[in-house]
Copies of this chain bind each other. A is one copy, B any other.
């Protein structure tokens, strides 16, 4: 039996978070004291850990709701249903990774092209690339050099 703050400390979340989960139907305390304090059982704690583990693999709270209701009614669901949810989430995660890898590549080539020095940004190839995308990013030389405008493939070679 835990009060809200105890369970929160135990699982390293805030009491506010537990109230939030309750409001959204994820986790309700099994009972209340006479004065209205929430009282959580070990089963409630286990449910909270289920939620936190599912969060840790990337599920949203509404997906976790679904997983929780499947978990409470396993005999009416098949492995295919559960695996389907995991595979769908996996596909979403992979799509997001692909997008971010694209960002990473572009940012890296912008970064590589810029000298990063203290001179005026008037010659900055990052700004230039954003102003008019040429699919090639002009590389700034080490400064002190006279010429500052060699071209280079966006991939950074």
Task: Name the CB-closest residue of B to A95.
Answer: B100
**Contacting residues, chain B, for A121 (C-beta < 8 A):** 70, 74-75, 77-79, 81-82
A104-B114 contact given A74-B124, A121-B79, A130-B71, CB 8 Å threshold: no
Tell yes or no: A108 within 8 A of B by CB: yes
Tell yes or no: A54 within 8 A of B by CB: yes
Q: Quick one: which of B49, B79, B87, B131 contacts A117, CB cutoff 8 A?
A: B79
Distance to closest chain B CB from A68 (angstroms):
9
Q: Is the CB of B140 within 8 A of A79?
A: yes
Distance to closest chain B CB from A36 (angstroms):
30
Tell yes or no: A4 within 8 A of B by CB: no
Which parts of A57-94 form the interface with B (CB within 8 Å)?
A: 57-58, 67, 70-71, 74-75, 77-84, 86-87, 89-90, 93-94
Chain A residues with a Cβ closer than 8 Å to the other chain, count: 57
Q: Is the CB of B107 within 8 A of A74?
A: no
Q: Is the CB of B58 within 8 A of A120?
A: no
**Contacting residues, chain B, for A97 (C-beta < 8 A):** 97, 100-101, 104
24 A-B pairs, CB-CB below 8 angstroms? A46-B131, A46-B132, A50-B130, A53-B133, A58-B100, A58-B103, A58-B106, A70-B121, A71-B131, A74-B121, A75-B121, A75-B122, A79-B115, A79-B120, A80-B116, A81-B121, A82-B121, A83-B116, A86-B110, A89-B107, A90-B108, A93-B107, A94-B104, A96-B100
